[in-house]
């Protein structure tokens, strides 16, 4: 009797979320798949059904592969370096000194700032003639117009943007490392480097994997940085899959094709995530 | 995915707005365009004059920057909430016409006794698709040449170059190391808008985005390769242009570091306000074997779903705009009505009149519903070559594959 009452209450509390989730996420996601099976120009009165033809064309589309290549490059730049930076910041903040909270807030601030605002700020930082970065380096490097430098430049900005988020996760994990064990080890004469690699790191391994998985998923969907700063240029060197999808959907108004690109990106991210879950599960098993 | 999700509530929201109402007997019309520069002020004045000239129709104009303009118009049409009159660039007309989004205007023209005789012949085709008219060309904006008259005078150059040989000679003469530090600090030429400069060169060398039938790419020809090779050689071989392109190059011209630049007529206002030197305009030099130059038009269109009365009212405004395009010319444009072009008032506009000299040999972008999409591919080719990332052969082969892949699906 009581169980049923609880269940009803639970449904009541969950309903608002599920109704909105269904309307604004599940239905559009399924509708997007339906669109991807059509030659669907936004103005077409009756889009023609073409089955999986859009997917075939996406896979033959060299610009899509170019975008996937650049996106993967971006992921490779951002995920390892970004997580290292986050971990370093977390270790720095885990030292118990005055103003720890102040620095924590400071490092976290970019995370809650809109990418649009940050992109505009970084456009000035990267400016060739009067940008701060070139001023400090005493150079006139055209960061965002250079085919070799554009992706690293966007990655650097993204690392700065996102480091604070993972930093909090790492900080929480570091604080959960039992102090007694570390203390005992140091009494036994182990160095701090030794303690970090032999004790701290194995303990926070789940946090590392969690952060890496999430940052890979997020980095594959990179959009705002290149949309605002470079619009994919120069010569498609900063074209990402999400930006390509957007350009095909809005700009070209090929909604069916753009939906197909979105689903292929989804498949790529899903594949990466599944592989990581495997790795994650294995490494979480007690030795 | 999220972007598409946004679309649904957006359509729902705009769908809720009441349609523009007719107050009493006055028909109120909405008019959208992207004239966010000084051209917008000129257009505002014409709209005010139109509203004052009669009592039946009132036009309310809204300016939306070009960067977001097409998304708004397209969503508006898709949700039947587009303005009653809107501006399209000529190469976008087939895309909208082919989906039945634009009202045909042939009957209005017949009624108003307007025809080819009232227009510049090459501009008359702008706004048509498959033999029907879906919009009236308000102007024609060819690519033209701006030059630094002070710099020309100092170098003893008496007239702007017209041919490839003259162009290279002038550019070389103007390219100088003025402070003797071993580095060039004054350039003869700068590559500004890659799309406009690239298209013009391709046209002048007989290449085009699409063949005459509008079915397949016609880019990867000996001429096309020569055109892009020539563009790159201005930087590498002749060394008369800096590595930059786009806005940076234009700023360099505006600040007196560059002798010549090709740009659109819409740039004159910025020059008027910012240039610290005497500048002048001339027709774009002919750098290839064919006498051609890129041009586009602003097209005035009406949505197809509009009722007959509103269409008629909208047409009365479009006609007024066309008849009064001298005011538009003064805002920095080239009109396409011969009687206006020949008027003394127009001939007194020293920049506009130079651009207008090209009206006899302008070339529009190919007419195709896929024009907007395939233009991107040609632009990437031009960009890759001009930055030395690819040879003309490679870049044009890639562009051709991409264009044909899209055209096969049309």
pLDDT per residue as tens digits for the range B232-262: 999 999 999 998 888 889 999 999 999 999 9
β partners of residue B189:
B260
**Segment B37-53 mean pLDDT:** 92
What DSSP character marks residue A173?
Answer: H
From chain B, pick out residues whose CB is under 8 angstroms from the CB of A63. Answer: 402
Residue range B147-176, pLDDT digits in tens: 999 999 999 999 999 999 999 999 999 999
Q: Is A187 on the interface with B (CB under 8 A)?
A: no
Q: Which among A28, A246, A254 has the least Cβ separation from residue B5?
A: A28
Give the span between the Cα atoms of B68 and B77, in whole angstroms: 15
What DSSP character marks residue B336?
Answer: -
Give the span between the Cα atoms of B395 and B382, in whole angstroms: 8
- The full 3-state SS of A40-100, as one line of letters, equals CECCCCCCEECCCHHHHHHHHCHHHHHHHHHHHHHHHHHHHHHHHHHHHHHHHHCCCCCCH
Q: How far is A41 from chain B (nearest CA, A)?
A: 9
Q: CB pairs below 8 Å between A and B: how many?
A: 71
Task: Please answer whether residues B284 and B293 qualify as being in contact, where contact means their C-beta atoms are separated by less than 8 angstroms.
Answer: yes
Q: What is the residue-averaged pLDDT of chain A? A: 91
Long-range contacts, B113-116 (Cβ 8 Å, 24+): B114/B319, B114/B322
pLDDT given for residue B9 in this prediction = 46
Residues constituting chain B: 410
Residue B27 tokens read as 């028909």
Phi, psi values for residue B50, rounded to 5°:
-65, -45
The chain B residue lying nearest A44, using CA atoms, is B99
Q: How far is B65 from chain A (nearest CA, A)?
A: 14
> Among residues B128, B195, B165, which one has the least CA distance to residue B378?
B195
* CA-to-CA separations, A263 to A52, A173, A213, B288, in angstroms, rounded: 12, 35, 20, 46
Query: Quick one: pLDDT band at residue B376, thresholds 50, 70, 90?
Result: very high
> Among residues B59, B65, B110, B77, which one has the least CA distance to residue B324?
B59
> Among residues B91, B31, B89, which one has the least CA distance to residue B63?
B31
Q: Is A255 on the interface with B (CB under 8 A)?
A: yes
Query: Quick one: pLDDT band at residue B189, thresholds 50, 70, 90?
Result: very high
Phi, psi values for residue B214, rounded to 5°:
70, 30
Give the span between the Cα atoms of A163 and B32, in whole angstroms: 44
pLDDT at A160 over 50: yes
Give the span between the Cα atoms of A37 and A257, in whole angstroms: 8
> Among residues B316, B313, B308, which one has the least CA distance to residue B112?
B316
Residue range A182-236, pLDDT digits in tens: 888 888 888 888 888 888 988 898 899 889 989 999 999 999 999 999 999 888 9
Q: Is B45 on the interface with A (CB under 8 A)?
A: no
Give the span between the Cα atoms of A70 and A265, in whole angstroms: 13
pLDDT given for residue B246 in this prediction = 85
Q: Is B400 on the interface with A (CB under 8 A)?
A: no
From chain B, pick out residues whose CB is under 8 angstroms from the CB of A42. Answer: 74-75, 78
What DSSP character marks residue B175?
Answer: -
pLDDT at B7 over 80: no
pLDDT at B384 over 80: yes
Place of tokens 């009803």: A8
Give the span between the Cα atoms of B289 and B203, in whole angstroms: 10
In B16-92, alpha helices (H): 38-53, 66-78
Query: Quick one: pLDDT band at residue B80, thresholds 50, 70, 90?
Result: very high
Query: Quick one: pLDDT band at residue B23, thresholds 50, 70, 90?
Result: low
pLDDT given for residue A1 in this prediction = 53
pLDDT at A181 over 80: yes
> Among residues A217, A212, A142, A129, which one has the least CA distance to residue A170?
A212
DSSP H or E segment with residue B293: strand B293-296
Q: Which among A39, A63, A246 has the least Cβ separation from residue B402?
A: A63
pLDDT given for residue B18 in this prediction = 47
The chain B residue lying nearest A50, using CA atoms, is B409
Residue B269 tokens read as 């206002």
Contact criterion met (CB < 8 Å) for B398 and A259: no
Task: Please answer whether residues B214 and B368 qualify as being in contact, where contact means their C-beta atoms are separated by less than 8 angstroms.
Answer: yes
From chain B, pick out residues whose CB is under 8 angstroms from the CB of A48. Answer: none
Give the span between the Cα atoms of B399 and A179, in whole angstroms: 62
Place of tokens 């090709």: B262
pLDDT given for residue B16 in this prediction = 47
From chain A, pick out residues whose CB is under 8 angstroms from the CB of B251. Answer: none
pLDDT given for residue B342 in this prediction = 95
pLDDT given for residue A98 in this prediction = 82
pLDDT at A257 over 80: yes
Residue range B331-361, pLDDT digits in tens: 889 999 999 999 999 999 999 999 999 999 9
Give the span between the Cα atoms of A274 and A267, in whole angstroms: 10
Contact criterion met (CB < 8 Å) for A57 and B75: no
Sheet bearing B27-33, strands edge to edge: B57-63, B27-33, B85-89, B298-301, B136-137
Residue range A54-85, pLDDT digits in tens: 999 999 999 999 999 999 999 999 999 999 99
Place of tokens 């055109």: B227
Distance of CA B214 to the CA centre of its chain: 20
**Among B114-128, B270-284, B344-358, where is mean pLDDT lowest?**
B270-284
pLDDT at B11 over 80: no
Task: Please answer whether residues A174 and A203 qualify as being in contact, where contact means their C-beta atoms are separated by less than 8 angstroms.
Answer: no
Q: Which of A28, A48, A116 best probes binding to B when mutated, by most B CB atoms within 10 angstroms?
A: A28
pLDDT at A280 over 80: no
Contact criterion met (CB < 8 Å) for A62 and B389: no
Q: How far is B283 from chain A (nearest CA, A)?
A: 29
């Amino acid at each position: 009797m009581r169980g049923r009452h609880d269940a009803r209450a639970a449904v009541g509390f969950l309903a608002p979320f599920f109704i909105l989730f269904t309307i604004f996420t599940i239905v559009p996601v399924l509708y997007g798949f339906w669109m991807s099976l059509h030659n669907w120009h936004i103005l077409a009165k009756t889009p023609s059904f073409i089955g999986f033809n859009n997917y075939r064309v996406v896979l033959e589309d060299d610009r899509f592969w170019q975008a996937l290549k650049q996106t993967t490059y971006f992921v490779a730049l951002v995920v390892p370096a970004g997580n290292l930076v986050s971990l370093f910041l977390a270790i720095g903040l885990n030292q118990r000194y005055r103003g720890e909270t102040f620095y924590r807030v400071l490092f976290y601030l970019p995370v809650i700032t809109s990418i649009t605002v940050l992109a505009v700020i970084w456009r000035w930082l990267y400016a060739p003639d009067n940008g701060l970065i070139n001023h400090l380096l005493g150079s006139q490097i055209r960061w965002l117009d250079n085919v070799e430098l554009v992706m690293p430049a966007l990655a650097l900005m993204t690392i700065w943007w996102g480091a604070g988020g993972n930093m909090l996760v790492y900080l929480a994990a570091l604080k959960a490392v039992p102090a007694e064990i570390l203390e005992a080890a140091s009494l036994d004469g182990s160095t701090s480097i030794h303690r970090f690699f032999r004790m701290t790191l194995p303990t926070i391994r789940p946090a590392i994997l969690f952060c890496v998985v999430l940052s890979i998923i997020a980095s594959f969907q990179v959009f705002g940085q290149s949309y605002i700063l470079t619009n994919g240029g120069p010569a498609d060197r900063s074209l990402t899959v999400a930006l390509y999808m957007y350009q095909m959907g809005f700009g070209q108004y090929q909604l069916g094709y753009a939906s197909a690109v979105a689903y292929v990106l989804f498949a790529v991210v899903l594949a990466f995530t599944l592989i990581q879950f495997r790795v994650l599960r294995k490494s979480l098993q007690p030795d | 995915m999220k972007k598409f999700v946004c679309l649904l509530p957006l359509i729902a929201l705009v769908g809720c707005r009441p349609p523009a109402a007719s107050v009493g007997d006055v028909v109120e019309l909405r008019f959208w365009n992207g004239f966010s520069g000084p051209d917008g002020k000129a257009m505002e004045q014409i709209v005010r004059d139109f509203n004052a000239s009669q009592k039946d129709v009132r036009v309310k104009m809204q300016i939306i920057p070009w960067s977001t303009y097409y998304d708004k118009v397209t969503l508006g049409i898709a949700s039947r909430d587009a303005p009653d009159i809107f501006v399209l660039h000529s190469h976008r007309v087939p895309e909208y016409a082919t989906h039945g989004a634009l009202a045909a205007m042939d009957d209005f023209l017949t009624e108003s006794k307007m025809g080819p005789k009232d227009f510049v012949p090459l501009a008359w085709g702008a706004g048509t698709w498959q033999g029907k008219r879906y919009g009236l060309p308000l102007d024609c904006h060819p690519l033209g040449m701006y030059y630094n008259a002070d710099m020309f005078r100092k170098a003893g150059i008496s007239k702007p170059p017209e041919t490839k040989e003259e162009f290279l000679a002038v550019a070389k003469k103007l390219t100088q190391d003025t402070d003797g530090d071993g580095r060039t600090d004054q350039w003869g030429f700068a590559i500004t808008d890659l799309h406009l400069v690239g298209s013009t060169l391709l046209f002048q060398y007989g290449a085009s985005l699409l063949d005459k039938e509008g079915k397949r790419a016609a880019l990867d020809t000996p001429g096309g390769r020569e055109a892009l090779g020539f563009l790159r050689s201005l930087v590498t071989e002749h060394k008369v242009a800096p590595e930059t392109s786009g806005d940076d190059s234009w700023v360099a011209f505006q600040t007196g570091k560059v002798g010549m630049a090709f740009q659109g007529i819409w740039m004159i206002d910025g020059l008027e306000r910012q240039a610290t030197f005497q500048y002048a305009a001339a027709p774009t030099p002919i750098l290839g074997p064919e006498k051609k130059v890129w041009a586009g038009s602003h097209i005035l269109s009406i949505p197809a779903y509009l009722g007959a009365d509103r269409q008629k009212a909208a047409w009365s405004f479009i006609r007024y705009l066309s008849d009064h395009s001298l005011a538009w010319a003064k805002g920095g444009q080239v009109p396409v009505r011969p009687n206006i072009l020949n008027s003394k008032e127009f001939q007194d506009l020293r920049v506009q009149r130079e651009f207008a000299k090209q009206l006899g040999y302008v070339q529009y972008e190919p007419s195709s519903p896929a024009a907007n999409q395939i233009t991107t591919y040609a632009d990437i080719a031009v960009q890759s070559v001009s930055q030395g990332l690819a040879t003309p052969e490679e870049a044009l082969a890639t562009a051709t594959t991409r264009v044909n892949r899209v055209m096969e699906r049309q």
